Structure 1
Amino acid sequence: MKMKSHCPINYSLEHFGDRWSLLIIRDLMFNGKRHYNEFLESAEKISTSVLGDRLKQLEEADIINKGKDEVKKSRIKYSLTRKGINMLPIMLELVCWSGKYDSESDINDDFLTQANNEREKLIQSTTEKLENEHLMN
């Protein structure tokens, strides 16, 4: 991937800095979604062309990878890579920021409390879970 600049913010944005990429990462990280059709079912209603493009970009950036589904061999299963899992603190920060400023946020209150008050513990437990689900398969 050719970078426009190596400013740290630009580097991050070039990898995952659009709405749809972050929502795909959210679905993989927090909602257990692993298949193309599951991403299409998200409330934000991503189009098929945008979804295909973002999945390709995330794969090229080594944030996700794709493989065969163990149950249905003809189906592709998406997983977070180590680089993708390492985005967990960023994603939690977005959750906390939204929980603070969005009065209609549909976030689970217990999760938000844990993200705000026991962040390191939450990062550790969630990282272990994601590693088991995404890196071991």
Structure 2
Amino acid sequence: MNSNIEMTAGAVPLSELVRRGELLSADCPSREVLKHVTSRWGVLVLMVLLDEETCRFSDLRRKVDGVSEKMLAQTLQWLAADGFVVRTSYDVVPPHVDYRLTPLGKEIAQQVSALADWIEVNLSRIMNARNVPDGESN
């Protein structure tokens, strides 16, 4: 992933924002979005929804192993509030709710998927680095 490439027309590359200090500022609104997207559950929910057209809450909970019902609901609320996820409720018994990515959500999901892919590909290197005593290099 090249941070010097603008993702959308008029977008400022992240590296430039960091140089200017906006993202590092405590009151920068992008920090809250970054927290939602890069949280453990946010990344995993985005990845599942990228692979699925739509997904029910119970399916998401089953696919994102280890997430509590409360954390999944909260994560979905954050992602929906940020415009990444659409929640569709059907007036049937029992209640039926689907979640899907918005076009903006697909863009961010592709980005976090690239990061997750990089981690998976380099996991052995990362694990080896964990085992190197402080002060030594690989």
Structures share fold, TM-score greater than 0.5: yes
| Structure 1 partner of 2:4 | none
Q: Matches of 1:36 and 1:5 in 2, distance apart? A: 33
Answer yes or no: is 1:91 the counterpart of 2:135: no
Q: Matches of 2:33 and 2:56 in 1, distance apart? A: 25
Q: Matches of 1:30 and 1:96 in 2, distance apart? A: 14
| Structure 1 partner of 2:100 | 79
The unaligned stretches of length 5 or more in structure 1 are 104-137
| Structure 2 partner of 1:113 | none
**What's the TM-score, normalizing by structure 1?**
0.59
Given that 1:20 and 1:51 are in contact with CA atoms closer than 8 Å, whether structure 2 keeps it comes out as: yes
| Structure 1 partner of 2:66 | 45
Identity %: 18
- Structure having the larger proportion of residues in helix: 1
- CA shift in 2, pair 1:40/1:95, >3 Å: same
- Structure showing greater radius of gyration is 2
Q: Matches of 2:91 and 2:123 in 1, distance apart? A: 39
Q: How many residues align?
A: 100
Q: CA deviation at 1:92?
A: 3.6
Given that 1:27 and 1:33 are in contact with CA atoms closer than 8 Å, whether structure 2 keeps it comes out as: no
Q: CA deviation at 1:69?
A: 5.2
- CA shift in 2, pair 1:70/1:97, >3 Å: farther
- Aligned positions of 1:62-73 closer than 5 A: 62-68=83-89
| Structure 1 partner of 2:28 | 6
Q: Matches of 2:79 and 2:64 in 1, distance apart? A: 20
The unaligned stretches of length 5 or more in structure 2 are 1-24, 125-138
- Aligned positions of 1:110-129 closer than 5 A: none
- CA shift in 2, pair 1:88/1:21, >3 Å: closer
Of 77, 84, 90, the match for 1:56: 77
Q: Matches of 1:40 and 1:7 in 2, distance apart? A: 29
2:73 counterpart SS class: helix
Q: Matches of 1:23 and 1:54 in 2, distance apart? A: 10
Q: Matches of 1:39 and 1:69 in 2, distance apart? A: 17
